[in-house]
A and B are shown apart, each in its own frame.
Chain A
């Protein structure tokens, strides 16, 4: 097979994927701005004039940020442990991705059995007499964030793990043999070198958390509606596609405000690391 043809065939799937994505994006924005064939920003004005939507947007971004933070705090040590594990690493990886084999809905119901008012924890603490009434462990921010961390943490772990696996253990050992304490070695060697994986993980988890629908629906309460849920309602119940597109565009833009600086930083960092390698 001639090389140009082979190259074209190899590039075709990604080109199609990107093309479909771009067309979808353009359609999304244009359908939010065109009403009956006329340019109209009514939906955006309506969204910004509705205090509940603004509140919902703030809640969505806050929940996504907290989910990302907790996923990182859990994901980094886990990825580090797996990367340095000397036994059967594939088994650990299997354990990490195991939750993906179960649907989000089933996993969310699992949390209900554990955290609900009649769940395992509340049944135990009320039985011991520690509290008179069950604690509210779900149907609030805590429940939503817990559920999202459970769902999204594997993405963080795998993103970080892919980078940690490429960092030779000898670099840490060299740092420590030169007198660096573990915390110092971590801060000056491991953390900078693993930043590309961390940033990728942050981007993935943050973006997926901003668009979450099922988990906030099942584990959230009255005050935990997120923008993804609202978009779902506009599409599935009202069939108001222009308004759903406007909400999605607002969500996209606000998410990009966070993600673009991360991407710029990631590129800068990659360049610095390449320069470091060449010296």
Chain B
């Protein structure tokens, strides 16, 4: 037998097709595939959303842990393997602008009527490009063995020289959307006026011991006291408290904390669209969101969700009071300028 170039190429293509078969079969089955971050997020989604949905409707949802759900949707654009995926609001905006998302009418997702419209991910013609399952917030986490919460009553405190080599910081990709927004607010600006925020960010960066966007690493740094404080996610502090780590706490500074809405989206051209709409509508409901809060501290987006006394005691206030202390920026503006802002931060940090 002579091994020709054509035979080699045919063999390689055949192998590739065979390798992609499991994914195709999975997407064609009746099980909905939902892409989720790992690190405990997936297990919360199983317990709070997927398992009860299966019990109530008989439809099954498989939560698949992936490092970056948005990357999965983008890689499979035009041939989606997942039925839904979670993302940050900025990721949702970016995917919506790139016309990657399936859209729904409000009648298809009636539970969204119980979610404030300012948290909707919607297209210019008013269709829903996703649903908002919950919020977290971004405040300042403090190891109380190393510093006190009162040391960080303002975002400005992060730029104080006394914290040299004692702070942690995330990478520019998140600095651009989260930290810079709050530092700009603390400097008298906002997401539209970031000049003052950039100055504070530079001051904060001078105090930084470590830069990381690994949540596990940030958890470890805070817990071990390698860093005294760093801007961090409320849900991670909740998880630490639930695990018995009480010496890491979070403060909402006087300028407020950043409200982080999350979105669940369906890729454009998704299979089993009706079933997906039912799943999305379920996620938007109050009951699963209350379970998400109890398990992982995700603040329900649905206004009908009720906080139990235990929850109120844990967060120290009611949902309404909490939301009143959180800042909701124009995520569309932040998403549109993200690449330029990251480039500006990269160049600012390179001057050190």
| B57 close to chain A: CB less than 8 A | no
Inter-chain CA distance A118–B212, complex, in Å, is 18
Tell me whether B350 and A118 are in contact (CB under 8 A). Answer: no
Among A1-48, those with CB < 8 Å from B are 2, 4-5, 8, 11-12, 15-16, 19-20
Inter-chain CA distance A5–B3, complex, in Å, is 8
| B29 close to chain A: CB less than 8 A | no
Inter-chain CA distance A59–B203, complex, in Å, is 24
For the complex formed, measure the closest distance between the CB of A92 and the CB atoms of chain B, giving whole angstroms: 33
| B346 close to chain A: CB less than 8 A | yes
Inter-chain CA distance A235–B68, complex, in Å, is 11
- Nearest B residue to A51 by beta-carbon distance? B350
Tell me whether B12 and A16 are in contact (CB under 8 A). Answer: yes
Inter-chain CA distance A51–B351, complex, in Å, is 9
For chain A, the count of residues having a C-beta within 8 Å of the partner chain is: 35
Inter-chain CA distance A150–B2, complex, in Å, is 47
Tell me whether B71 and A239 are in contact (CB under 8 A). Answer: yes
Which of B225, B226, B339, B349 has its CB near the most chain A CB atoms (within 10 A)?
Answer: B226
Which listed segment binds B: A162-170, A182-190, A215-223?
A215-223
Tell me whether B1 and A8 are in contact (CB under 8 A). Answer: yes
Tell me whether B220 and A222 are in contact (CB under 8 A). Answer: no
Q: Which of B11, B171, B347 contacts A52 (CB 8 A)?
A: B347
Range, interface on chain B? 35 or more
| B74 close to chain A: CB less than 8 A | yes
Inter-chain CA distance A51–B8, complex, in Å, is 45
The 8 A CB mask of B192-221 against A (1 = contact, 0 = none) is 000000000000010011111110010010
For the complex formed, measure the closest distance between the CB of A250 and the CB atoms of chain B, giving whole angstroms: 16
For the complex formed, measure the closest distance between the CB of A117 and the CB atoms of chain B, giving whole angstroms: 5
Among B153-172, those with CB < 8 Å from A are 165, 169, 171-172
Known: A50-B347, A116-B226, A217-B212. A233 touches B173 (CB 8 A): yes
Tell me whether B217 and A238 are in contact (CB under 8 A). Answer: no
Which residues of the partner chain B approach A260 to less than 8 Å between Cβ atoms? none
- Nearest B residue to A52 by beta-carbon distance? B350
Tell me whether A118 and B224 are in contact (CB under 8 A). Answer: yes
Tell me whether A11 and B350 are in contact (CB under 8 A). Answer: no
| A246 close to chain B: CB less than 8 A | no
Tell me whether A5 and B1 are in contact (CB under 8 A). Answer: yes
Known: A20-B12, A117-B209, A139-B210. A233 touches B220 (CB 8 A): no
Tell me whether A116 and B212 are in contact (CB under 8 A). Answer: no
Inter-chain CA distance A51–B210, complex, in Å, is 22
The 8 A CB mask of B222-253 against A (1 = contact, 0 = none) is 00111000000000000000000000000000
